[in-house]
Amino acid sequence: MRLLVLPSKEKDDLTFTPSAITVKPGQTVELTLVNNGTLPHTFTLTDLNIEVQMPPGETTQFTFIAPKSGEYQFYSGVLTEFDKMKGKLIVQ
């Protein structure tokens, strides 16, 4: 699955696309993180102790095992003032 960091039409307004990822408990999740912007970001899932660096203009891949059922918020831990720099990992 690809997760993109994309600049929107508004200046400095960035998003994760898609903003929700749905997986099954125990599933091996392989993410390709693409930062198309000019600012650094992280993919941070605090509940799972995951923080992956996303340098500007680069693609990063990583794998993790989905936890028990529930909803887990992910966000960019670098520029936390951007409210849209978050999403949900839905495990069901």
Confidence of residue 68 (pLDDT cuts 50, 70, 90): very high
16: containing domain: 2-91
Predicted model pTM: 0.83
pLDDT digits (tens, 9 = 90+) for 1-51: 666 656 544 545 577 888 899 999 999 999 998 888 788 888 999 999 999
Closest CA to 50 of 24, 86, 27, 75: 75
Q: What is the CATH number of the domain that holds 30?
A: 2.60.40.420
Residue 9: its pLDDT value, please? 47
**Domains contained in the chain, number:** 1
Closest CA to 3 of 64, 71, 59: 59
